[in-house]
Amino acid sequence: MTRTNRSFARAAIVAGIVLTLTACTVPTPSPKQTIPHDADTGQTLAEARAAIDAVPGISVTDFVGGGPPNVKGNTGYSVAFDVDPGYTVLHGDVLVDYIVRNVWSVGEGYMPNTQIQISSTTADGEPLFDLASAATGSGWIPPLSRAPSPHSSVVIPLSPDASEGARNLSLLTQDGQWPGVTPKPLPDDVTAKVD
């Protein structure tokens, strides 16, 4: 057998082995296939945004999420709002809980499986809204030691692989799986007009 024929024979054997091994493997489903999405129930992104925007003195500036998972299989949502000039938040814990539950009730797009980020901005000269204390008071995050700021963000963990995320998921699914029940509108006393 010539050197060329031996090389060809080796290449054919290697190709046959590779073909056999790849034909026997079962492909792993991608996160796009395994993460729940586009439910028949729940509200749309626009409906959830409008519900939060309807709270007196709160203006939603950003509401995104529901997109396909990233390369690590993560999905999440981000909600940002301004506390309007002349308003103060009296019951921040109730407001944060309302935002989290509105996001969880969105059936359009992909279910959040990593986090919900909430950001707030308070206008200059207005009473500061302490978003971190509100999120802690609502029970979604442990206490954070940081001073209130006109611009603040918190992350509500939803990863089932982390203790806080697993706890939050168990709270969200008490009334059923994703998408959750659409929350009723908040009472008028969550925010107040400042004189």
Q: Would you state the pLDDT for residue 19? A: 56
pLDDT in tens, 77-103: 999 999 999 999 999 999 999 999 999
- Mean pLDDT split into 10-residue runs, the chain, 195 residues: 62 61 64 89 97 98 96 96 97 98 98 97 92 97 89 96 96 94 95 91
Task: Kindly list the domain boundaries of the chain, sorted by start residue.
Answer: 31-193
Q: Would you state the pLDDT for residue 12? A: 62
Q: Would you state the pLDDT for residue 146? A: 84
Full-model pTM: 0.85
Q: Would you state the pLDDT for residue 30? A: 78
Closest Cα partner for 79 from 140, 152, 137? 152
Q: Would you state the pLDDT for residue 29? A: 75
